[in-house]
Amino acid sequence: MNKNSKIYIAGHKGLVGSAILKNLISKGYTNLVYRTHAELDLINQKDVEEFFQNEKPEYVILAAAKVGGIIANNTYRADFIYENLAVQNNVIHQCYVHKVRKLLFLGSTCIYPKNSPQPMREDSLLTSPLEYTNEPYAIAKIAGIKMCESYNLQYGTNFISVMPTNLYGPNDNYDLEKSHVLPALIRKIHLAKLLSEGKFEEVLKDLKFKSIDEAKEYLANFGVNKNKVEIWGTGTPRREFMYSEDMADACLFLLENKDFVDLKSYTPVAKAKMGCKDIYNTNDKEIKNTHINIGTGVDISIKELAELIKNIIGFNGQLIFNTLKPDGTMLKLTDPSKLHTLGWKHKVELKKGIEKVYNWYLEKYEK
């Protein structure tokens, strides 16, 4: 890419897309194209066709997706599989039709089996059943990986799939019902702290409620009051988290330096069954698992995470774990060895990242 290459960022307002957009601007890219959902509905095939015909982007970053936490994934199962499949199908196919030089497709490490060996390597894909609660979303993302891979093999396109671990950062979703665990914990614990300090005006401002009694009743639905914050599950599952701006930097590294042909050399030959180490070979008859994990390779239990956030925010109440609620996958740690071998490693450690994003949250909700 050069600095005036025409780059389309799909999903530029979300956690992932906004971090990538910020990174592109910081590195001097000037010909950036993006649309809000109101301006371009990526589910609408005709609208996507017209957009590509009119704009003719050279590079595309597909960060648009319907995402959410365990509650949202399990509740809106049809929405998650339909909307994500539709967006992917439309954008990926138009990238082929209009001869886009390179596509970066962003998925998620939830593509890996529920009981995948830890840490999860790229060749764990499709080796055993998925976690039930996010199965529809995972299947959609797996389809996206296979679509990119298949277009590369059949048509010679240059589509790269990356699978970020759990992300957090500016512009995340802090909805108490639909957000992922880390932003949900930040908001819950922050609001509990405000209640404990009697800062009711700030609670109302955050929630956009008019009555503090109404706000307290609403928060009680999520196990939040001035004395405690309820958290789903036992707190024992372990999760890996990456700061979104680190993820964006990894994406730009791959866009600027790597092509699909570079990734085929990292496809493992299945020799582990014979007790041998994996051998990487470009001459495999089966070219698969060419996607790339983007992660830190470091995890933390949900209980440890909650305690860390509690200490950063300064809440003195209790953290209560509701063991009647599901835990989800117990272990979910990525193996980022392929990315490290390609030449990139993360920089922002978890404590520093949470401090940064909590400051961002305060600035956003104090306006």
The residues that are catalytic are: 137
CB-based burial label for 217 (10 Å; 0-12, 13-18, 19+): exposed
Q: What are phi and psi of 246, to 5 degrees?
A: -65, -45
CA atoms within 13 A on the CB side of 320: 13
Which residues of 295-349 form beta strands (DSSP E)?
Answer: 299-301, 318-322, 331-332
Q: Which residues of 4-32 are buried (b: 16+ CB within 10 A; e: fewer)?
A: ebbbbbbbbebbbbbbbbbbbeeeebeeb
Smallest CA-to-CA distance from 134 within 111, 162, 107 is with: 111
Residues linked to residue 322 through DSSP beta bridges, in sequence order: 232
* Tokens linked to 234: 């036992």
d(CA 166, CA 171): 14
Residue pair 139/80 in contact (Cβ under 8 Å)? The answer is no
- CA distance readout (Å), 325 to 71, 240, 242, 320: 10, 21, 25, 12
